Amino acid sequence: MEPKIYFPEDHGLDQDLIDPDALFILKKLRDAGFTAYLVGGSVRDILARVKPKDFDISTSALPEEIKKIFRKNCILIGRRFRLAHIRFGRKIFEVSTFRAGETDEADLIVRDNVWGTAEEDARRRDFSINGLFYDPYHKTVIDYVDGWHDLKEGVLRSIGNPEVRFKQDPVRMIRLLKFHARFDLKMEPGCVKALKSCREEIVKSAPARILEELLRMLESGHGHDFFKLLSEYQLLDLLIPELDQFLRSENGSQVYEFLKTADLIHHKNENVTLERSLLISCILFPIVERQIADFCETHDKTPNFGELSVLVWSVIRETMTSAFTHFPRKISAISAYIIITQYRLTPFGKRRSHRSKFLHDKDFPLALRFLRIRALADNQYSDKFFEWENMYYQIKKHHGDKKPKYVSQKRRKPKRKSAQSNS
Ligand code: ATP
Ligand code: MG
């Protein structure tokens, strides 16, 4: 099928929004005799006049041919999905060979390395708005999937039958809700129907891919709307049942309140990405609070720090690590630290610890930033936040970046008696 082609006078696309290194890669591939286009989310974003987060490239060159052109700047990765990563300093560009799509059978796909034409590559993509190509040489947008029209109309439409596509790769259901939350696009009724009928398939997807989509959505500044949708369309219930139950309980609104605050911080600070451990703390902290209330009721006392630590880790294990066996240990450990430190910053009762060694902890700034999120969500913590922030900067000014002696001091080894004194 001939694609629809849109010229500069139609799209008015601002080439300055494209990373010059991405343009360089596209040019090198073209100079070597291959077809190469900008694809996916980056084309969608520049057409919507949004600066893309990353730039993906599709080409007629095979992975080994890409490797030959970019040599040591290029590594080939993935077995199921073999593609090239081209590195420029700290930036990495994903360059993949045009792939043929799936057949029409609604089976879970396990192999993905069947090379194809540009058209086949567009058709294997998830939604029409993500299936557009941009050719920087001719400055044209190439559209095999009616993505241009859907983008203008603000519609999220699956490429191909949504029920078949969701069964082939259930992560697409999460991506449907992600684009709905992020761009406020209308979901085409067929997609909604397929989402409802295929939802149980979600458990067949690789947990690592689901976790990555969830974390990326938390970082995107649309975490609040996205988690609402995940729960509303009953996907969360299948993915992290403990969290879904909590969100539906009377305390669930606290998680949404924190997520809304984190989203607000993101948008107010030129789309700064908050640390994953902070965002995970937004979800876990209200659950910990609820469990502390239960602890107090059963034990008739507040938990000490040992008990608190056990409680926080059990919440992390039950919510995040039970659902995602490979939930990164580093995120768990920092989130646990952030949450436990809240009870030093705003202790139970009136008693306040005069020890402030923990202000020198490596991750203390994150705990302080979480207190700021709490203060923004509930202004009864504002004074406390400013008090600690003040103290933290005072100490930093006083000690510079050096750790104070009492933290780093090493025990002196007792001096060995010299041979002379022994004699
Ligand atoms: P983001 O802005 O979050 O990066 P994106 O659409 O660019 O959104 P990526 O995960 O970077 O998402 O994927 C790049 C492109 O790869 C998509 O735009 C889409 O064309 C294609 N794609 C990604 N995931 C799938 C999938 N599960 N099925 C089919 N195509 C996909
Ligand atoms: Mg992308």
- Give one DSSP letter per residue of 192-223, joined into a string: HHHHHHHGGGGGGS-HHHHHHHHHHHHHTT-H
Residue 42 Cα to ligand 2 midpoint, Å, equals: 6
256 or 420, which is more confident: 256
Classify domain 4-154 at the CATH topology level.
Beta Polymerase; domain 2 (3.30.460)
Three-state DSSP at 383 gives helix
User: What number is the average pLDDT over the span 36-53?
Assistant: 93
The pLDDT, as a whole number, for residue 323 is 86
The pLDDT, as a whole number, for residue 295 is 96
Asked if pLDDT for residue 108 goes beyond 80, the answer is no
The pLDDT, as a whole number, for residue 418 is 47
Residue 347 near residue 353 (C-beta atoms within 8 A): yes
Helix or strand (DSSP H, E) at 155: strand 155-156
Question: Rounded distance, CA 319 to CA 308, Å?
Answer: 17
Does the beta carbon of 112 sit less than 6 angstroms from any atom of ligand 1? no
Asked if pLDDT for residue 192 goes beyond 70, the answer is yes
Taking Cα atoms as reference points, which of 11, 57, 13, 12 lies closest to residue 37? 57
Taking Cα atoms as reference points, which of 206, 49, 37, 40 lies closest to residue 127? 40
The residue contributing the CA closest to ligand 1 atom 30 is 125
The pLDDT, as a whole number, for residue 106 is 66
Contacts of 26 (CB under 8 A, 6+ apart): 36, 37, 38, 57, 136, 137
Residue 296 Cα to ligand 1 midpoint, Å, equals: 46
b/e per residue 275-302 (b: at least 16 CB within 10 A): bbbbbbbbbbbbbbebbbeebeeeeeee
Residue 50 Cα to ligand 2 midpoint, Å, equals: 13
The pLDDT, as a whole number, for residue 408 is 39
Helices (H) and strands (E) in the chain, counts: 22, 10
Q: Ligand 1 pocket check: which of 80, 125, 133 to mutate, most ligand atoms within 8 Å of Cβ?
A: 125
Does the beta carbon of 130 sit less than 6 angstroms from any atom of ligand 1? yes
Q: Ligand 1 pocket check: which of 38, 55, 56 to mutate, most ligand atoms within 8 Å of Cβ?
A: 56
Asked if pLDDT for residue 76 goes beyond 80, the answer is yes
User: What number is the average pLDDT over the span 367-382?
Assistant: 96
Does the beta carbon of 171 sit less than 6 angstroms from any atom of ligand 1? yes
Q: Ligand 1 pocket check: which of 110, 175, 209, 211 to mutate, most ligand atoms within 8 Å of Cβ?
A: 175
Q: Which residues are annotated as catalytic?
A: 54, 56, 126
The residue contributing the CA closest to ligand 1 atom 25 is 126
R_g of the chain, CA atoms, integer Å? 26
27 or 108, which is more confident: 27
Q: Ligand 1 pocket check: which of 85, 126, 182 to mutate, most ligand atoms within 8 Å of Cβ?
A: 126
Candidate from 119-123, 184-188, 227-231, 401-405 with smallest mean pLDDT:
401-405
Three-state DSSP at 228 gives helix
Percent of all residues in the chain with a pLDDT value above 90, rounded to a whole number: 78
The residues spanned by each domain of the chain are: 4-154
Atom number of ligand 1 nearest to Cα 165 = 28
CA distances from 176 to 183, 221, 235 (A): 11, 17, 12
The pLDDT, as a whole number, for residue 272 is 84
Question: Rounded distance, CA 245 to CA 210, Å?
Answer: 19
Three-state DSSP at 126 gives coil
The residue contributing the CA closest to ligand 1 atom 21 is 125
Question: Rounded distance, CA 141 to CA 82, Å?
Answer: 26
Residue 53 Cα to ligand 2 midpoint, Å, equals: 7
The pLDDT, as a whole number, for residue 212 is 94
Residue 382: pLDDT band by 50, 70, 90 thresholds?
Answer: very high
Reported as a single tens digit per residue, the pLDDT across 126-157 is 999 999 999 999 999 999 999 999 999 999 99
Average pLDDT along the chain: 90
Does the beta carbon of 125 sit less than 6 angstroms from any atom of ligand 1? yes
User: What number is the average pLDDT over the span 109-118?
Assistant: 77
Atom number of ligand 1 nearest to Cα 40 = 18
Residue 158 near residue 134 (C-beta atoms within 8 A): no
Residue 301: pLDDT band by 50, 70, 90 thresholds?
Answer: very high
Does the beta carbon of 169 sit less than 6 angstroms from any atom of ligand 1? yes
Residue 225 Cα to ligand 1 midpoint, Å, equals: 20
The structure's pTM equals 0.89
The pLDDT, as a whole number, for residue 271 is 79
Does the beta carbon of 126 sit less than 6 angstroms from any atom of ligand 1? yes
Question: Rounded distance, CA 196 to CA 418, Å?
Answer: 82
Question: Rounded distance, CA 68 to CA 74, Å?
Answer: 9
The pLDDT, as a whole number, for residue 407 is 41
The pLDDT, as a whole number, for residue 349 is 77
Does the beta carbon of 46 sit less than 6 angstroms from any atom of ligand 1? no
The pLDDT, as a whole number, for residue 74 is 96
Using the Cα atoms of residue 305, residue 311, residue 315 and residue 317 in order, give the sign of their dihedral.
positive
Taking Cα atoms as reference points, which of 322, 296, 318 lies closest to residue 307? 296
Percent of all residues in the chain with a pLDDT value above 70, rounded to a whole number: 90
Cβ neighbours, 10 Å, residue 168:
20
Reported as a single tens digit per residue, the pLDDT across 220-275 is 999 999 999 999 999 999 999 999 999 999 999 999 999 999 999 999 987 788 99
The residue contributing the CA closest to ligand 1 atom 1 is 41
The residue contributing the CA closest to ligand 1 atom 11 is 41
Q: Which ligand is nearest to the CA of 212?
A: 1
The pLDDT, as a whole number, for residue 399 is 73
The pLDDT, as a whole number, for residue 198 is 97
Phi, psi of 88 (to 5 degrees): -125, 105
User: What number is the average pLDDT over the span 105-123?
Assistant: 80
The pLDDT, as a whole number, for residue 328 is 94
Q: Is 183 exposed, middle or buried (0-12, 13-18, 19+ CB in 10 A)?
A: middle
Does the beta carbon of 53 sit less than 6 angstroms from any atom of ligand 1? yes
Asked if pLDDT for residue 104 goes beyond 80, the answer is no
Residue 110 Cα to ligand 1 midpoint, Å, equals: 18
